Structure 1
Amino acid sequence: MSELTVILEIISFVFLTCLMIKRIFQNRNKTYPDGPFGFPIIGHLPLFGNYPPKTFMKWWNSYGDVFSIRLGSWNTVVVNGYDAVKAAAEHPDDVFSGRPNFFSMDIYRKSVKEVTFAFSNFSPVYLKQKQLTSKALRSFTYKRPEIIEDLVTNEANAFADIIVKKYNRKFGPIELDVQTFATRIVYQFLYGRSKTVDIKTIIKSLEEVNELVGSGSLLNALPWLRFVMPRKIDKFVKCLVRSYDIAKKQIREHNETFTVGNVRDVADAIIATDVDADESRDKNVLTRQRLNLTLGDLQEAGVDTTNKTLSWLFLFMAEFPEIQERVFMEIRNIVGTERNVLLKDKPDLVYTNAVILEVMRIVTPVPFMLPHFSMKNAKLQGFDVDKDTVVIFNIYSVHHEEKFWGDPKNFRPERFLSDGKNLDQEKCNHVFAFGLGRRRCIGEEFAKMTLFLSFTTAIQKCKIIKPAGENLDLTPVPGLVYSPRPYNVLVQERY
């Protein structure tokens, strides 16, 4: 027996002994959720498999709505099903609204020299930041939706022309075209029309973030691995800094050209907010720098979720041509083909809305959301959850809950129609694509507008066709946002 093997066996024995002693003392007068057996030190990471949502569904069936696992050194509970997830997200005192101090999140903070909005802990500062950012976004969604409408329809028409020109005679991948399209929309929404977009830097940064922060990240669970792979960390940090430098550059330009009463974009709207500009690092003060860097979060999250959701929509339309034709016919009958689809058409395009909802439900591009953290001891569904426990909301389980959906594995947009003419609001309210509770996605309204206008404009002008006799692979690729596998399509112009 080698010396290394002996050392590993000793470490495993000590770990299991300490864990048993800890549980003996913890379990006095407490009831903890059960869970599958894991491994010493590394916990359950090796058991996640190639597609973690499928594994989690099996564990849900075996251990109930709340079960426990370990992410390396982190005690973790996974919350499953509509009732349990809603109860946890809306728990009194926001007890499960914290964020764990994962290694990747620590890299974010150190790289940008400030606490980012998405990864910051739940606090009065976070709530103030959310309030001011929401105010800035509302000024372009609820108050002036025509700005988004004009931006997205112009870009969507240009996108449709590009993919028809490139793929009308030969099959090819549209992934990069979708990424470019989504990046242009989000970038101009944040920083102004006709801005030159550094698409390559933004997309590269998103790839690095997905790799490091995605579900089951080894570096988050086992932070000591940073000493084993320092080059990977350095590469990630450099990419992250370059991405946030884009936001910083735009902030400087906007500060130099901003005039009161002339709000041109979201960056201007954030500058215009009434906030204490004190640059101190007092944790109870929302600094101007921290508020400005919210733009970096909106840039990263907006591009990633928008481009991947659109890619999923186009993939499903290629795989299910009869559904694509029904969407096109609804658009043609209600809007026609001579004018752009507008936001005012959304209530009338009922089946189209059902298709968008069904794709977001069956895929669930962000199946576990960003991890939550218990800020104090609490009860959940009768179980004890100790302070400093990672809490994972399994949104995928909500979207695939058989007792509610009946046949959740089937792609069937009609499930969202109550009488063939209206959307079933109860089913719509069971789709948590943007999360729920006080950590719900702050850019939800902008994302919904963008997805609707982009998708309808593309289908109004284009017919997306898969290779004859081929079934496209609908299995997601895991990451922070789950993406479709590369696929080739033919794109023909509608007449």
Structure 2
Amino acid sequence: MSDLTFVLGLALTVFMTVLFLQWLLQNKEKKYPKGPAGFPIVGHLPLFGKYPPKTFLKWWNSFGDVFSIRLGSWNTVVVNGYNAVKAAAEHPDDAFSGRPNFLTMEILSERTKEDRLAFGNFSPVYLKQRKLASKALRMFTSKRSEVIEELVTSETNVFVDILVKKYNRNAGLIELDVQTLVTKIIYQFLYGRGKTVEVERHVKTIIEFLEEFNELSGNGSSLDVLPWLQYIMPWKVEAIRKNTARSDDLVTEQVHQHYDTFVPGNIRDVADAIIASDADDEENKDRYVLTRARLNLTLADLQDAGVDTTHKTLLWLFLYMAKFPDVQEKVFTEIKDIVGTNRSVMLKDKPELVFTNAVLLEVMRFVSQVPFSIPHYAMKNAKIQGFDVDKDTVVIFNLYSVHHEISFWGDPEIFRPERFISDRKSLDKEKCNHIFAFGRGRRRCVGEILAQMNLFISFSNVMQKCKFIKPADEQLHITPIPGLVYTPKPYKVLVQERN
């Protein structure tokens, strides 16, 4: 061995030793969360089981409110329980408001080179984008509430007529009917009351996009947590890319039409409201300019996420009404006693329909159809419940744990809408605040207000006009099919008109 080789080897050894000692010095005071043992390369993915929320509850019981796992290639911390999730989501430094650079998220934005509202990283531009979207939705829901009511009610009436005609005597699958109802409503929320042919054509495109996207993504995309799979399954990457383009093209077409026909002061729909909000925002005009492409992506998120979650929520609601006929009858009786049957249920009736609201909340709690938040990302070193979480760690909020926390709910595995009603026969505010169906913090779903209005009007009006009946040979399973949004297993029901 030459002297030069010896010197280089010694220098490398000293250098590595210094780095190691430096790492020990930096981390000797740190307290990291513990977790279950996993596997090389794939981490804990094989241990999730058929129903991951139950597995995560077991890990929560074993390792506490904050535990660590390996999500494929990503170091991950899972946060459980109301107090821990609330504290992490509302961290004063927004430490956990980032998004991991998952492959699917890159594909969703690669055509425009702009971030989506739901999946984009946390930045000043994101904050402006969120502010404008929130302002636009408030503007639309306040100024056009009568349009919202009329639209949802008229589409719901058509929906009821279809269900009764198709399933009055012969039980059938109602999923496509529900999906069509919700897609038509949200499409017209966003882009206006268009010609029937245009609505039908675009509704079909949106439904096809979501079905294919959910099929490709499955129970979370393996490409995101094991990114090297993109070289083994390039066809899957290309399929996601092509499918995303279809949805983006539809939104782009609508946005161009709105810019061309926009009249200040005439807010026809959410797209108009976003354009108006951007034009009125003088505070940040010179600092953060939202491109038309970014506005397109905001609408795309409201469209796709709104349709997917809302239609599945209604599917769960109708399933539970058929599964628990006594609850369904109490909903109908309340509506009949307070509203009657000669007019449609309106938003003004919402405060009086306490049990109906309690049913909506209990189904969202019990099912927890988005049991884990869209993955968050630690943008800096921070702490959760006294545990250190290093920068660049994926952070998952276990919303299912919040909705099934025994210390708060008492009997979380029992479906009991009455839990949300106080002794004063009004909704219990504390329990309502423990429902995280729309997330928490600055990543909370920006479309929550519109979604809740839609759900209340459509569900209560359907309950007023018809009832769902379990066929004698149908089981009506309530264990979900895991996915990005958990879905009920296909079920058949009879639908009869109320007299």
After TM superposition, give the deviation of residue 73 of structure 1 in Å.
1.3
Map 1:417-456 to 2 at 5 A.
417-419=421-423, 421-456=425-460
Range 139-148 or range 295-304, more displaced: 139-148
Q: Residue 340 of structure 2 aligns with which residue? A: 336
Range 78-87 or range 136-145, more displaced: 136-145
Map 1:303-314 to 2 at 5 A.
303-314=307-318
Q: Residue 147 of structure 2 aligns with which residue? A: 147
Q: CA 1:26–1:107 in 2, change beyond 3 Å: closer, same or farther? A: farther
Distance 1:23 1:382 in 2: 20
After TM superposition, give the deviation of residue 214 of structure 1 in Å.
5.4
Q: Does 1:395 align with 2:409?
A: no
Q: Which runs of 5+ in 1 are unaligned?
A: 1-19
Q: Residue 16 of structure 2 aligns with which residue? A: none
Is the CA contact (8 Å cut-off) linking 1:211 and 1:480 kept in structure 2?
no
Deviations 1:362-397 (A, max 9, x none): 001111121100100001101000000000000000
> Which residue of the other structure, out of 233, 238, 255, is the alignment partner of 1:234?
238
Distance 2:209 2:389 in 1: 35
After TM superposition, give the deviation of residue 438 of structure 1 in Å.
0.6
Is the CA contact (8 Å cut-off) linking 1:395 and 1:432 kept in structure 2?
yes
> Which residue of the other structure, out of 358, 363, 386, is the alignment partner of 2:362?
358
Larger radius of gyration: 2
Map 1:312-323 to 2 at 5 A.
312-323=316-327
- SS of the residue 1:77 aligns to: strand
Deviations 1:27-51 (A, max 9, x none): 4221100000011111111111111
Q: Which runs of 5+ in 2 are unaligned?
A: 1-19
Distance 2:269 2:22 in 1: 54
User: How big is the alpha-carbon RMSD for the aligned residues of Structure 1 and Structure 2?
Assistant: 2.0
- SS of the residue 1:94 aligns to: coil
Map 1:161-310 to 2 at 5 A.
161-195=161-195, 196-197=198-199, 198-213=202-217, 215-275=219-279, 285-310=289-314
Deviations 1:297-325 (A, max 9, x none): 11001101110000000000010011000
Q: CA 1:101–1:419 in 2, change beyond 3 Å: closer, same or farther? A: same
Q: Residue 69 of structure 1 aligns with which residue? A: 69
Distance 2:22 2:101 in 1: 22
Is the CA contact (8 Å cut-off) linking 2:89 and 2:440 kept in structure 1?
yes
- SS of the residue 1:92 aligns to: coil
Distance 1:174 1:105 in 2: 31
Q: CA 1:330–1:285 in 2, change beyond 3 Å: closer, same or farther? A: same
Question: What amino acid is aligned across from residue 206 of structure 2 in structure 1?
Answer: I
Q: Residue 104 of structure 2 aligns with which residue? A: 104
Distance 1:179 1:470 in 2: 22
Deviations 1:406-433 (A, max 9, x none): 1101100010011261111110110011
> Which residue of the other structure, out of 313, 323, 328, is the alignment partner of 1:324?
328
Q: Provide the identity percentage.
A: 68
After TM superposition, give the deviation of residue 213 of structure 1 in Å.
4.6
After TM superposition, give the deviation of residue 114 of structure 1 in Å.
2.3
> Which residue of the other structure, out of 381, 385, 403, is the alignment partner of 1:381?
385
Range 436-445 or range 144-153, more displaced: 144-153
Is the CA contact (8 Å cut-off) linking 1:275 and 1:288 kept in structure 2?
no
Q: Does 1:123 align with 2:127?
A: no
Question: What amino acid is aligned across from residue 164 of structure 2 in structure 1?
Answer: V
Q: Residue 8 of structure 1 aligns with which residue? A: none
Q: Residue 41 of structure 2 aligns with which residue? A: 41
Is the CA contact (8 Å cut-off) linking 1:371 and 1:390 kept in structure 2?
yes
Q: Residue 7 of structure 1 aligns with which residue? A: none
After TM superposition, give the deviation of residue 259 of structure 1 in Å.
1.6
Is the CA contact (8 Å cut-off) linking 2:474 and 2:492 kept in structure 1?
no
Question: What amino acid is aligned across from residue 250 of structure 2 in structure 1?
Answer: I
Structure 1 length normalisation: TM-score? 0.92
Distance 2:47 2:26 in 1: 25
Distance 2:205 2:75 in 1: 36
Question: What amino acid is aligned across from residue 191 of structure 1 in structure 2?
Answer: Y
Distance 2:180 2:121 in 1: 32
Q: Residue 13 of structure 2 aligns with which residue? A: none
- SS of the residue 2:278 aligns to: coil
Question: What amino acid is aligned across from residue 421 of structure 2 in structure 1?
Answer: L
Is the CA contact (8 Å cut-off) linking 1:97 and 1:122 kept in structure 2?
yes
Structure 2 length normalisation: TM-score? 0.91
Q: Residue 4 of structure 2 aligns with which residue? A: none
Distance 1:315 1:54 in 2: 21
Range 453-462 or range 285-294, more displaced: 285-294
Distance 1:193 1:220 in 2: 38
